Structures are given as structure tokens and as C-alpha cells.
A and B are shown apart, each in its own frame.
Chain A
Amino acid sequence: MTLDDTPLPTPEVGFDVDTEPYWRGAGEGRLVLPRCDECGTYVWIPRPYCPLDLSPTRWVEVSGRGSVYSHSTVHRGERLYAKRAPFVLAYVELDEGPRIMTNIVGCPPDAVTIGMPVRVVFDAVEETMGIAIPRFTPA
């Protein structure tokens, strides 16, 4: 399979007051996650209260490094991706622990393997100033 250089979709992200710092952080080139004030757990999906103890969370910058936990080369995209397949949907396990859904970019889809080290990259959302979408590429 050859590398498709067409950029992946960068849709307007439907963030709200709970999640805006995640996407704004990405816009500044930083991957930020909420971390529980009480137990120190990094929380995924981002939210203002820790699901382990409902204590408040605080945004902290993380390394942006991790490895592929699972992946799929999607050949029939839907909705935003209806005209942009194949693409790689994946879970990346961050070095800090959370497993987050993302895309793997910057390499041919069939080069992606479980356990492969990756690092974050940021795709700017043109329609919304200061917002970017975190994706991952081979480290």
C-alpha cells in the first residue's frame, strides 16, 4: 500500500467548556490531559472531574509519546471520512498511561504495527483559529 499524502480531514471540533483546553493546547503544539488533583490519575476522555473519585482535575502537559495499542486500516470511511480512505484509526497508549483514539499518519498504513513507538503531531483546524487535532506518527 502506498502512502496517501492527502491530509486527513480537519473538521471543526465540537468542543465545549469541559474540553476546549485540550484542543487549544493542541493548537499551541502541546498535548494536555486532565489529571486528578486527588489521586494523580490521567483522565481519558477529558473531563473536569476524575471518574475514579469525582475529584476536580487539572490540565497538565504530557510527553506526546507512546506506542500503538491497536490499529485498523479503514477502507470504507463514513461521514467525515467518506471520501478519505484508506486511513489508519488507532489507539495509542501514551507513556503516561491513557489509551487514546487517534490516527497514525506519516507512514504507509501497512507499516503500522502494534507496539510501534509514536509521537504526537498537530493538524491545524483552518476554520477555528488556535485549534488543532492531535495525531500520531512513527517516533
Chain B
Amino acid sequence: MTSLRGAAYVVGVYEHPGRELPDRSVAQIHAEVARGALADAGLTTGDVDGYFCAGDAPGGPIAMADYLGIAARHCDSTDYGGSAYVALVSHAAQAIAAGKCSVALITMGGRPRSGRRRPPAQDNPAYPFEETYGHSNPASYALAAQRHMFEFGTTSEQLAEVKVAASTHAQHNPDALLRKVVTVEEVVGSRLIADPLHLLDCCVITDGGGAAVVVSPEVALRLGRRGAKLLGAGEAVKHTGRSPIDLTYTGAVWSGPRAFEEAGVTPADVDYASIYDSFTITVVMSLEDLGFCEKGQGGRFVLEGALQAPHGRLPYNTDGGSLCNNHPGNRGGMTRLIEAVRQLRGEAHPAVQVPGVDIALVHGTGGWVGTRMGSATLILGQEDA
């Protein structure tokens, strides 16, 4: 079986600086971030032969390849929700390894802040069995948080530490929607959205987007720009088809080990982690499921500034994450990828740049932890990692 270790490099990334974009179309946002990521890589649309997008792309991959002017000989639009872009890096690497393309562009964009929020898909066979009862994003993650607290003694104060760390990072990010440093007391004192999750346990809602360029080792060698080497990738769908729902874990229990095994590294080797933080509980559960601590110990793991850059045990989401910086299109996987590449390049904000990042992890949780989800994990590294 072919390993993806070293099969591809992320050589260009771009995060849209806008957080509220009432005067732009979603397609235009895709074009802006495509332009930014290609410029970062030192490439043009004429170089691109693979195009990758997810459910936010207006009209899907054919329409967007047309709109962006990409002569694609390979497309993929796997939609795992917010984690899709993490998985699409792996899919791009697979296509590159198979010779189906050599320069892959991944774009995402959305306008849930100034425009309409997408309602859940009504043709999902589960829709009437959940929508009828008031299932929503915060309520879904709240059900998991409640059960986590019951089984493991996790507390609201522990969850709050996840937000506190994000806010200490966001203060250095001029583009972040929320730059104010908050305390544990402020998080647990904010109003309840879905018990036990408070307002400050929830990610922001922003317009915007991001893009990444993934290329073959041969193309990467020709470019002057330092890239992030793909070391390993894993993905998983967790659902309730084969057993009653267990709210205590996420699909990371499968996607994580697959990625670590391919990369040949362990959680102890990770210098920086980008972890999709739709809610504070998402991070706590992901840390456990990825193997950074024992199951049930995530609430204790995040104490004492463990997640805070540059010197915490596991600095995470140094841009402020979805909790403070940006959650374009209600899909956070792309921005998690972008910050990990910045860290590997040494291009994060100096106040939060982790010294000597050799290995970075990117993890996305798409869909709903309270029903069904798509998880995707990447391990990225320096050239000699």
C-alpha cells in the first residue's frame, strides 16, 4: 500500500482577512482566496490541474472550476462539513501520488454572518427525527458535553480554559473577530446557549474563507517558498448506524491513529496542534481521542495554560481559532490548516510562534458530535521531519 508520507507539500495558503463581507458573493470569496493562496505559492491558475472544494462551493466543482478558470484534470468535492478541507489535503495528495494532478487548489468561502445561514439538509433521512425536537449545532455539542461531565467529571471551568487560551492568542491577531482576552470567570458567567455550553464556549460566526495549494514534491522543489510536508493523514465517519450513539468520543479515535501511523510519529512528537474548535468541548474530546491524554482526562489536560503559546505543553490554534478569530462559512477546517502551515514556516505572529516546530497536527470535526460526523487528521512537518 502506498504511503502518503512525503507525497505532497502544502506550498500556499491564504486566509481571507474579512470577517463581515456583505458586498461580496460567495463565488467572489472563493476567487479572492484562490488568488491569495496561489500568489503565496508563487503559482498562477494556469499551473493548477486539480481542483478541490466542499459543500460551500457555489454550484459545486464544475461551476467553480469554470468560475476560477481552472483546467482541472482531477476534482474532488468530498463534503465532511467543516473538516472537509483537512480531508481534501489528503485527497489531493492521493491524486498527486497517483499522477492524476500535480498542482491542487482547495478553496472555501461563506457568508453566514452577513448573509443567510444554511439550514440543515432536509433530504437527510434523519432530518425529521432531529429537527422536530430542536436539534441545533450548540445543542448537539451540549448533549456531548453533558455526558462528558457525567462520565468523567469534566467541569465548565475546564472547558472555559480552552476559550481562555484561544483569546490569549487572538489578542495578537489584527484580523480576529474577538481580540479581548477573557477569563474563566467571564466564560462561565456568559449566558447559557445550550446547557452546559455558554455563549463563550461557542465559536464565532463570520464571513470569509481560505485556500490552500498542495503540490507534488517535484513542483515543491521548483518553488522558492517553504512548504509544509505531508507526513500522514487519516479520516473517519462516525455515525449511529451500527450501534447506539456514544456521545463520549469523536471520529478522531480512528482518524488520529491512522494519521500518526502513516506519519511514523506519536502525539508526544507534536509541537503545535490546530484543532477544530467549534465549541470548547470539541477540543477537549479531540485531545483525548487523538491520544494527547487518556479518555476522560481532557478537562484536566487543558489546565495551567497547557494550550497556550508559545510555552504551553501543547500550543494550539495560535490565530485564535474558531472560538475567537474566524469561522468562515461555519466551516473551520481550512483556517485550522492555514495556521498550522504558518507555524511550520515560522510565520505565525511572533508572540505566539512556537519555537522550532518540526511536527504540526491539524484536526477537523465536521458535522455534529451529537449525531454523525466526519473527522479528518493531518500530520505535517518540516522537510527533514
Is B343 interfacial (CB-CB < 8 Å)? no
User: Could you list 24 examples of A-B contacts with CB < 8 Å?
Assistant: A13-B132, A44-B244, A45-B129, A52-B242, A70-B247, A74-B138, A75-B192, A77-B134, A77-B136, A78-B136, A80-B134, A81-B134, A89-B135, A89-B139, A89-B142, A89-B143, A89-B194, A91-B247, A99-B245, A101-B371, A102-B133, A103-B133, A103-B134, A114-B150
- 18 further A-B contacts with Cβ under 8 Å, apart from A19-B129, A73-B192, A78-B134, are A13-B132, A14-B127, A19-B125, A45-B240, A46-B129, A69-B147, A72-B139, A72-B194, A73-B194, A74-B194, A80-B134, A84-B134, A89-B134, A89-B135, A100-B129, A101-B129, A101-B130, A102-B133
A76 in contact with B138 given A44-B244, A97-B244, A114-B147 (CB within 8 Å): yes
Partner of B194, one of A11, A23, A76, A98: A76
Q: How far is the CB of A36 from chain B (nearest CB, A)?
A: 12
Is B269 interfacial (CB-CB < 8 Å)? no
The residue in chain B whose Cβ has the minimal distance to the Cβ of A78 is B136
Is B131 interfacial (CB-CB < 8 Å)? yes
Is A124 interfacial (CB-CB < 8 Å)? no
Q: Which of B181-220 contact A (CB under 8 A)?
A: 191-197
In the assembled complex, which residues on chain B have CB atoms less than 8 Å from the CB atom of A71?
143, 146
Interface contact tally, CB-CB below 8 A:
110
B125 close to A18 (CB less than 8 A)? yes
A14 in contact with B135 given A44-B240, A51-B241, A101-B129 (CB within 8 Å): no
In the assembled complex, which residues on chain B have CB atoms less than 8 Å from the CB atom of A45?
125-126, 129, 240
A74 close to B134 (CB less than 8 A)? yes
A70 close to B146 (CB less than 8 A)? yes
Is B128 interfacial (CB-CB < 8 Å)? yes
The residue in chain A whose Cβ has the minimal distance to the Cβ of B371 is A101
The residue in chain A whose Cβ has the minimal distance to the Cβ of B137 is A78
B3-43 vs A, CB cutoff 8 Å, 1 = contact: the mask equals: 00000000000000000000000000000000000000000
The residue in chain B whose Cβ has the minimal distance to the Cβ of A73 is B195
In the assembled complex, which residues on chain B have CB atoms less than 8 Å from the CB atom of A133?
132
In the assembled complex, which residues on chain B have CB atoms less than 8 Å from the CB atom of A75?
191-195
A51 in contact with B131 given A71-B143, A78-B136 (CB within 8 Å): no
Is B119 interfacial (CB-CB < 8 Å)? yes
A14-48 vs B, CB cutoff 8 Å, 1 = contact: the mask equals: 11001100010000000000000000000011110
Is A87 interfacial (CB-CB < 8 Å)? yes
A79 close to B194 (CB less than 8 A)? no
A120 to B77, CA, bound (A): 42
A74 in contact with B129 given A52-B242, A101-B135, A114-B147 (CB within 8 Å): no
B195 close to A91 (CB less than 8 A)? no
Is B144 interfacial (CB-CB < 8 Å)? yes
A47-59 vs B, CB cutoff 8 Å, 1 = contact: the mask equals: 1000110000000
A80 close to B132 (CB less than 8 A)? yes
Is B122 interfacial (CB-CB < 8 Å)? yes
B133 close to A99 (CB less than 8 A)? no
Q: How far is the CB of A62 from chain B (nearest CB, A)?
A: 14
The residue in chain A whose Cβ has the minimal distance to the Cβ of B148 is A70
B229-244 vs A, CB cutoff 8 Å, 1 = contact: the mask equals: 0000000000011101
Q: How far is the CB of B18 from chain A (nearest CB, A)?
A: 25
In the assembled complex, which residues on chain B have CB atoms less than 8 Å from the CB atom of A8?
134
Q: Which of B136, B145, B240, B247 counts the most chain A CB atoms within 10 A?
A: B136
Q: How far is the CB of B357 from chain A (nearest CB, A)?
A: 37
A72 to B150, CA, bound (A): 12
The residue in chain A whose Cβ has the minimal distance to the Cβ of B197 is A72
A15 close to B128 (CB less than 8 A)? yes
Q: How far is the CB of A55 from chain B (nearest CB, A)?
A: 14
In the assembled complex, which residues on chain A have CB atoms less than 8 Å from the CB atom of B126?
45
